[in-house]
Amino acid sequence: MNVPDRAVQEVRATHAAWIAAVNAGELAQLMSLMSDDVVLINPDQPPVGREGFPALFTGAHRQFELHCSSEPLSITVAGDVAYTCARDELRLTPRTGGASVQLAGHRLTVYRRDADGRWRLARDAHTLAPVPD
C-alpha cells in the first residue's frame, strides 16, 4: 500500500471512530479525535469550538438516544490535510419517550495530521435536515 492509500485508510478509520464515539456517547474519545482549534458548523447555529462542544454534546445525549450513520462518498488527502464528503443519517429518539426524528444530509469534514501522526477533525459542516414522513 502506498503512502496516499494508507493516509486515505487512516482518515477513513478516524471518520468511523468519530461516528462510533458519537453513537456511544464517548465524549473523551471525541475530544481526542478533534484538533485544538476545531470548528464545528451546524445549520442555524453559531460555530462551536472545542470549549463549547462538551456541553452541547452531553446535553444532546441527555435528551436523546442518537444513532448516526455516515458513508464517506469521497476522501481526498493532500499532505497533512484531508477532507471527506459524506452522506449522513441521524436518528434522534427522545429518552423520555415519543417519536424519533430522522435527519439526513451531507457532511464536509476537514482532517489534519498532527505532529504525533494522528488524523484529527479540524473543521466540520453538515446539512442535516428533517426527513419528510
pLDDT at 2: 60
- Percent of the chain residues past pLDDT 90, beyond the cut: 95
- Domains located in the chain, CATH noted: 3-130 (3.10.450.50)
pLDDT at 106: 98
Average pLDDT over residues 1-18: 89
C-alpha cell at 58: 452531553
- Quick one: average pLDDT of 63-79? 97
As a whole number, the mean pLDDT across the chain is 96
pLDDT on residue 4: 73
Q: Which residues pair with 111 in a beta bridge?
A: 82, 121
The x, y and z cell numbers of residue 63, run together, are 435528551
Q: How far apart are CA 18 and CA 14, in angstroms?
A: 6
Residue pointed to by grid coordinates 488527502: 77
Q: Which residue, among 75, 50, 60, 78, has the nearest Cα to 23 in the 3D structure?
A: 60
pLDDT, tens digit (0-9, with 9 covering 90-100), for 27-46? 999 999 999 999 999 999 99
**So what's the pLDDT on residue 131?**
96
Task: Read off the pLDDT band of 133 (50, 70, 90).
Answer: confident
Cα–Cα dist 122/53, whole Å: 13
**β strands within the chain, DSSP E:** 34-41, 64-78, 81-94, 101-113, 119-126, 129-130
pLDDT by residue (tens digit) across 75-127? 999 999 999 999 999 999 999 999 999 999 999 999 999 999 999 999 999 99
